[in-house]
Amino acid sequence: MNRQKFTDKFMAAFFILVIIKIIGIFAQLFHQSFWSVLGTLAIFAIVAFIIFIVLLRLEDKEKTGNPLGRKGRGGSSYVETSLFDRIRNKYEDLAQKYLDEKDYKKAAKVYMNLLRDNYRGAKTLEEGGFYNEAAVIYLKKLKNKSEAANCYEKAKQYRKAIDLYKELEQKEKVGDLYRQINDIKNANTYYQMVVDDYVNNNQMVKGSLIYRKKMEMPDEAQKILLKGWEEDRDAFNCLNNYFANIFEIKKLDQQIQELYKKTPSDKKITYLEAIKYEFKKDPKLQNTTRNIAYEIIAEKVATRSEIVNELKHFNPDDEVILKDISRYKTGRNRMFRN
């Protein structure tokens, strides 16, 4: 008995699937609008027609013989591959047609229902501004909570986004969204968690930025920077930012003097580096920062002779100082040669 041709089998299966699909589409009337079901039916009709045309062409080719001379199982495999490639290309063309027409929902249906590509379907919905629908696909089909949360946020469904960001442990994002809906208490609760994490990881500057920019607590920001300086946890950056956050020159001048008095000997080089920035900030700070620099240089020069080079930062236009530095270095070199 001759084996039934592949296209005949596929044709029979195709018509059975068409009937089942049509019944399924009409069953959607119980939970979807008439026009939505009609749109789905129209898409299916177009796709079914395309597949039917492809099948007819392949059947004609089988009747006229294989032009490549392939027979048996190998020829059948070639026909199967060719068929599915053609069908897939037709689906791709159909989806692109809908995209060109800005009909993102229909394009997404083609991607998800016909090409079985949920990710492209979700991205298409997101691109079209259907954020809620995209979020559902990301969450239910792709199990991608991050993308779903992002879509809910775009849709201004902040509560749903917050729940997902909590599951993802994105505490700062949770705080941002609570702030977006004016829930300052909960926002600050989550921001404080972020600050605590930064402090535990010695990222004091980042913690201070949360206090200053998001919690609007500048005093707390200064405390955490001072703590970082005193405990030598990213000391230079903490001190530099601490000074940068004091905008009144008179108050800044006082703080530079007071902190210097409390600075232990092993941190004075770091202090010197920090006040170099303050020296350039305002002429009113130059006298204080220069005097402190002189004290530190005088204290450290015996063990770190190269520190004399720092004098030029505090006397950029003083030619005498520059010559003195040069003579000092020359004298030191002669002493070591002798």
Kindly state whether residues 328 and 259 are assigned to the same domain: yes
pLDDT in tens, the chain (338 residues): 344 455 565 555 556 555 666 666 566 656 666 666 566 667 667 766 766 676 666 666 655 554 444 444 444 554 456 767 888 888 899 999 999 999 999 999 999 998 999 999 999 999 999 999 999 999 999 999 999 999 999 999 999 999 999 999 999 999 999 999 999 999 999 999 999 999 999 999 999 999 999 999 999 999 999 999 999 999 999 999 999 999 999 999 999 999 999 999 999 999 999 999 999 999 999 999 999 999 999 999 888 888 888 888 898 876 666 566 555 555 554 443 44
Q: What is the pTM of this model?
A: 0.72
d(CA 52, CA 57): 9
d(CA 2, CA 95): 40
Kindly state whether residues 275 and 188 are assigned to the same domain: no
Kindly state whether residues 288 and 203 are assigned to the same domain: no
Written as six digits, the tokens of 260 are 């210097």
Please give the pLDDT value at position 308.
84
Amino acid identity, residue 251?
Answer: K
Tell me, rounded to whole angstroms, the distance of Cα 338 from its chain centroid: 62
Domain span including residue 118 = 94-142
Please give the pLDDT value at position 306.
85
Amino acid identity, residue 147?
Answer: E
Please give the pLDDT value at position 246.
97
- State whether residue 304 is helix, strand or coil: coil
Kindly state whether residues 250 and 215 are assigned to the same domain: no
Kindly state whether residues 211 and 272 are assigned to the same domain: no
- The verdict on residue 315 lying in a domain is yes
Kindly state whether residues 135 and 205 are assigned to the same domain: no
**Matching residue, tokens 């001072």:** 226
- State whether residue 338 is helix, strand or coil: coil
- The verdict on residue 85 lying in a domain is no
Kindly state whether residues 160 and 220 are assigned to the same domain: yes
Helix then strand count (H, E) for the chain reads: 18, 0
Render 5-41 in DSSP notation, one character per residue: PHHHHHHHHHHHHHHHHHHHHHHGGGTS-HHHHHHHH
- The verdict on residue 80 lying in a domain is no
Cβ contact 241:205 at 8 Å: yes
Number of domains in the chain: 3
Cβ contact 137:122 at 8 Å: yes
d(CA 148, CA 238): 37
Kindly state whether residues 182 and 121 are assigned to the same domain: no
Q: Which residues contact 37 (CB under 8 A, 6 or more apart)?
A: 25, 26, 28, 29
Please give the pLDDT value at position 337.
43
Please give the pLDDT value at position 68.
42
Kindly state whether residues 275 and 334 are assigned to the same domain: yes
Kindly state whether residues 250 and 317 are assigned to the same domain: yes
Neighbours of 333 (CB within 10 A): 11
Amino acid identity, residue 304?
Answer: R
- The verdict on residue 20 lying in a domain is no
Please give the pLDDT value at position 183.
98
Please give the pLDDT value at position 22.
64
- The verdict on residue 44 lying in a domain is no
Cβ contact 193:173 at 8 Å: no
Q: Which residues contact 66 (CB under 8 A, 6 or more apart)?
A: 75, 78
- The verdict on residue 195 lying in a domain is yes
d(CA 173, CA 164): 10
Kindly state whether residues 250 and 338 are assigned to the same domain: yes
Cβ contact 191:182 at 8 Å: no
Torsion angle defined by CA atoms of residues 326, 331, 333 and 337, in that order, rounded to the nearest 10 degrees: 160
- The verdict on residue 76 lying in a domain is no
Phi, psi of 4 (to 5 degrees): -65, 135
**Matching residue, tokens 């013989």:** 65
Residue that is last in its domain, among 170, 202, 229 = 229
d(CA 129, CA 107): 13
Residue that is last in its domain, among 176, 202, 229 = 229
- The verdict on residue 34 lying in a domain is no
Kindly state whether residues 133 and 171 are assigned to the same domain: no
d(CA 46, CA 114): 12
